Amino acid sequence: MTIETIFYVAHVVFRPLRRVRLTAWSGVYAGRTVYESLNRAGIVLDKGGLFRVSPIYPQGSTAPVGGYLAPGEPYWFRAVFWGSPGIATAQQLATGFMAGLGLWTQELQVEELRIEEKRLKLPHPDTQGEGEPIAALIEVRHGPTFYRFHGAVVAYPSPWRLVASIARRLSTATGIDYRPLARRLQPCLELAVDRTRRIRIRISHGAEPPVFHGQAAYHAACPRALAEALHQLLEAGLYTGAGASPGLGLGEIHQVKIEKPRHRIPPPLEPWIEEKESN
């Protein structure tokens, strides 16, 4: 059994009307653009965690921009809205962003604004450990990410923090508590191969946290029902992102790929036969 929810994905192409010096990670500028657009549309958010942004990219480039935005040059970023019951729906946020962005006539020229509705199938929060035990290798490509753990910064691909952070955003988006499911899923996952790199990213004048980015492989072993729930949760992570500061362009998940285990697995485990890739 699954639950369906709707996210809205905005793709923005713009040209600055003046030179903009970036004193921090470009995702900070993208996040400020979204927050101020919502404010200009009359939507004031008293809490974060209702949307995320990508960093800003020069048109045609796969590397985020750094240093400054050149006047007249095209750049793009994405924003994903999920909202929260009782605060603002995903549709209200997307509509407000679209209206507010059109009021930036002194700072930037919007070349393209495309908003897509994405219907996501989420795992049922009461999913239990049913079915035969199966094993897989899950490859995840992370954008710059860090997690928080009781005030500490975790700058490596922690499988427990990965599951917990996505579950927390799904709880916000749906009003359904996904934390019990996260606790059942966390023991199913272990870090297998860490190919990520460590860098520091400035997100404000006083904060330059360490982050990791790149490819990480995770071992997965659990009953089939939980494995399917884990896959749905990670696919949702392609939209929610993971880790801290989603509104500042951090925590993107670019790819989730399920493969057969590369090691001998003991019985009664069986390999997860169906290989899947999501981008």
| Residue 279: predicted pLDDT | 72
Same domain, residue pair 220 and 97: no
Question: What residues contact 11, with CB distance under 8 A and at least 6 apart?
Answer: 76, 78, 112, 113, 114, 115, 116
Dihedral (CA of 29, 31, 36, 38) sign:
positive
Same domain, residue pair 113 and 137: no
Same domain, residue pair 115 and 143: no
CB of 197 closer than 8 Å to CB of 210: no
Residue 275 pLDDT level (bands cut at 50, 70, 90):
low
Mean pLDDT of the chain: 94
Same domain, residue pair 38 and 106: yes
Q: What is the mean pLDDT of residues 97-106?
A: 92
| Residue 221: predicted pLDDT | 97
User: Residue 25, Cβ neighbours under 10 Å: how many?
Assistant: 25
Per the listing, tokens 């169906």 go with: 274
Q: What is the mean pLDDT of residues 125-135?
A: 93
Same domain, residue pair 115 and 146: no
CB of 4 closer than 8 Å to CB of 120: yes
18 phi, psi to nearest 5 deg: -150, 165
Same domain, residue pair 137 and 84: no
Structure tokens at 110: 């919007």
d(CA 134, CA 263): 13
The residue from 121, 146, 178 where one domain ends is 121
Structure tokens at 11: 């793709």
Helix axes 224-240, 159-174, angle to 10 degrees: 70
The residue from 121, 136, 171 where one domain ends is 121
CB of 139 closer than 8 Å to CB of 274: no
User: In which domain, by residue range, is 63 found?
Assistant: 2-121
What's the pTM? 0.94
Same domain, residue pair 45 and 112: yes
Same domain, residue pair 220 and 254: yes
Q: What pLDDT, in 10s, does the model give residues 187-204?
A: 999 999 999 999 999 998
The residue from 121, 141, 172 where one domain ends is 121
Same domain, residue pair 86 and 160: no
Q: What is the mean pLDDT of residues 1-18?
A: 94
**CATH label of the domain that carries residue 103:** 3.30.70
3-state secondary structure the chain: CEEEEEEEEEEEEEEECCCEECCCCHHHHHHHHHHHHHHHCCCCCCCCCCEEECCCEECCCCCCCCCEECCCCCEEEEEEECEECCCEEHHHHHHHHHHHHCCCCCCEEEEEEEEEEEEEEEECCCCCCCCCEEEEEEEEEEEEECEEECCEEECCCCHHHHHHHHHHHHHHHHCCCCHHHHHHHHHHEEEEEECCEEEECCCECCECCEEEEEEEEEEEEEEHHHHHHHHHHHHHHHHHCCCCCHHHCCCCEEEEEEECCCCCCCCCCEECCCCEEEC
Least confident of 46-50, 82-86, 153-157, 240-244: 46-50
Same domain, residue pair 85 and 111: yes
212 phi, psi to nearest 5 deg: -115, 155
d(CA 196, CA 99): 38
What are residue 138's DSSP bridge partners?
A: 218, 258
- pLDDT above 70 for 90: yes
Q: What is the mean pLDDT of residues 178-194?
A: 97
- pLDDT above 80 for 14: yes
Same domain, residue pair 18 and 139: no
| Residue 105: predicted pLDDT | 83
- pLDDT above 70 for 276: no
Domain count, the chain: 2
Same domain, residue pair 48 and 154: no
| Residue 277: predicted pLDDT | 66
**CATH label of the domain that carries residue 221:** 3.30.70.1900
